[in-house]
Amino acid sequence: MSNDVPTDLKYTKSHEWVRMDDDGIATVGITDHAQELLGDLVFIELPEVGTELGAGAECAVVESVKAASDVYSPLTGEVVEVNEVLADAPETINQDAYEEGWIFRMRLAAPNELDALMDADSYAEHAESDEH
Amino acid sequence: MDKKTVLNATHRDMGARMVPFGGWDMPVNYGSQIEEHHAVRRDAGMFDVCHMTVVDLRGARVRPFLRHLLANDVDKLKTAGKALYSCMLQPDGGVIDDLIVYFVSDDWFRMVVNAATTDKDLAWIGEQAKGFEVAVEPRFDLGMVAVQGPQARAKAGPLLPADLREAAMALKPFSAATSGAWFVGRTGYTGEDGFEVMLPESDAPAFWRALAAAGVRPCGLGARDTLRLEAGMNLYGSDMDEGQSPLTSGLAWTVAFEPAEREFIGRAALEKQKAAGSLPRFIGLVLEGKGVLRGHQKLYDGEREVGEITSGGFSPTLDRSIAMARVNADAADILMVDIRGKRLPVHRVKMPFVRNGKACIEL
């Protein structure tokens, strides 16, 4: 199984990705590997703007034809924007997990937490071992 | 180690995502479950159902045996080839399995039973058959492929053995034709027209590939589940089991109480249930807003818990979430479902939700 794993992103074990933008805000989504495991997505429960999240906190739910799966906040911070497109078109994540399929953006309270996340190589290895 | 059907390597070769399912290694999808679902509603799709078990029952007294064994009455089958859907019950009315039985000839009936229940089914049928001198023969040498959709028969027909083609194309719904080891029923589990084809295992991979070449889309168990849910067809183990009777599972229509003198297993228990009244209702539900209904979610009438969803999911045809549920007899028409701690409104509808490609309910 070979999934796309962009090298400019950071990753979590629970299959979220993080992109640090120039304005110091982080964009979060789920990986291509995760969407493939889930299958066709049919509903996304988005976090609310203004919510303060701790690293590892449950913050969204992605539901596929198969099952519901929690999305965990990779970092500590405040939700500043959510991808409203997903409310009507959850399949956007299946089609483009890393760009159009982003889930929310957050202002980081502790940017040094980024160092603890995986790089693309480590994540690719993790995703591989996750296959059964 | 999960069991593999004879089509296992073919699925892998054709890009299926495989998952463990009731002790079998089966395809859940070939990429997109929703596209597979639409292919069956609009054109033609196929399913590997080799994991299900064909059981032949032979003997001079096979008909009286089945009239005793099954809650539906095989005496409804007057002409050879006709099929009947029935539950097989415990003496207390609990459902051992649901099945299709075909009347092939006066001393030969054929059943198709669920995969996960095969062992207990065979043990039960064998035990009951003793007094009737009926031979119970599971046909593990046969595979089965379901070809379903408005174009299924047109696409599959030419690929059947030459001596079976004409008879298969002439079949009326819920009847079957056979030639040699091939057996074709105009039956299915999707709410669409189509065939279920039983064939020698060794013929199955070539038949599967020929169907694919003819434009029949390979589909996984995921689409099979959403199609049967839309069609309002029960799934054994989710919608009913040994702890429920047909009367509490939306299957009262499959129980033949007439003629009154037919003593089928479970009859006395069902009559007692009917007489007691106030049985739970088995209903269809539609979620009014966004979200996904799933099995075991609880249902509320005001603050009172009145039942739970037995199976639910997203309906690709309706673009809404739908479910089957068992609720108290006095539950209201509008209920609330608990999804992860939130209460969302659902309303009752008459099933099926979808038949022959068309919505049967008002949204």
Query: The domain spanning residue A112 has which CATH number?
Result: 2.40.50.100
Pick the CATH number of B8-50+141-230 from 3.40.50.10470, 3.30.1360.120, 3.30.1330.100, 3.40.50.1380: 3.30.1360.120
Please give the interface size between A and B, counted as residue pairs whose CB atoms are below 8 Å apart. 40
Q: Is B226 in the A-facing interface, judged by CB distances under 8 Å?
A: yes
Of B109, B129, B99, B102, which is closest to residue B63 (Cα–Cα)? B109
Please give the span between the terminal C-alpha atoms of chain B, in angstroms, as a whole number. 44
Q: What is the phi/psi pair of residue A65, to 5°?
A: -55, -25
Residue spans of the domains in chain B: they are: 8-50+141-230, 280-363
Q: How confident is the model at residue B268 (pLDDT cuts 50, 70, 90)?
A: very high
**Minimum-distance CB partner of B32 among A40, A68, A87:** A40
Query: Distance (Å) from the C-alpha of residue A38 to the closest C-alpha of chain B?
Result: 11
User: Are residues B313 and A65, on separate chains, in Cβ contact within 8 Å?
Assistant: yes
Determine, yes or no, domain membership for A127. no
Residue A88: closest C-alpha in chain B = B290
Cβ separation A87–B32 shorter than 8 A:
no
Q: How many domains does chain A have?
A: 1
Whether the ω angle into residue B150 lies within 30 degrees of 0, i.e. cis, is no
Structural domain that includes position A62: 10-121
| B33: nearest CB among A39, A68, A87 | A39
CA distance B89 to chain A (A): 31
A40 reaches B (C-beta below 8 A): yes
For residue B363, name the pLDDT band (cuts at 50, 70, 90): confident
| φ and ψ at residue B65, rounded to 5 degrees | -60, -50
Tens of pLDDT, residues B118-143: 999 999 999 999 999 999 999 999 99
In a domain, A5, yes or no: no
Tens of each residue's pLDDT in chain A, 132 residues: 456 899 999 999 999 999 998 888 999 999 999 999 999 999 999 999 999 999 999 999 999 998 899 999 999 999 999 999 999 999 999 999 999 999 999 999 999 999 999 999 999 999 988 764
Q: Do A65 and B33 touch (CB under 8 A)?
A: yes
- pLDDT, residue A58, reads 96
Pairing outcome for strands B45-48 and B217-218: parallel
Q: pTM score, two decimals?
A: 0.94
Provide ipTM, 2 decimals. Answer: 0.86
B291 touches chain A (CB under 8 A): yes
CA distance B265 to B96: 11
Rounded to an integer, the average pLDDT of B270-283 is 96
Domains B8-50+141-230 and B280-363 share a fold: no
Do B154 and B169 contact (CB within 8 A), yes or no?
no
- Note the pLDDT tens digit of each residue in B294-331: 999 999 999 999 999 999 999 999 999 999 999 999 99
How far does the CA of residue A86 sit from the closest CA of chain B (Å)? 12
Instruction: Tell whether B290 is within 8 A of chain A (Cβ).
Output: yes
List, in order, residues 6 or more apart from B332 with CB less than 8 Å away: B301
Mention the CATH class of domain B280-363.
mainly beta
Mean pLDDT of chain B: 97
**Peptide linkage before B352 cis (omega within 30 of 0):** yes
* Mean pLDDT across B235-257: 98
What pLDDT, on a 0 to 100 scale, did the predictor assign at position A131?
A: 63
Whole-angstrom Cα distance, residue B113 to residue B237?
A: 13
Q: Indicate whether A80 belongs to any domain.
A: yes
Interface check for A57 against chain B (CB to CB < 8 A): the answer is no
Predicted pLDDT at A132? 44
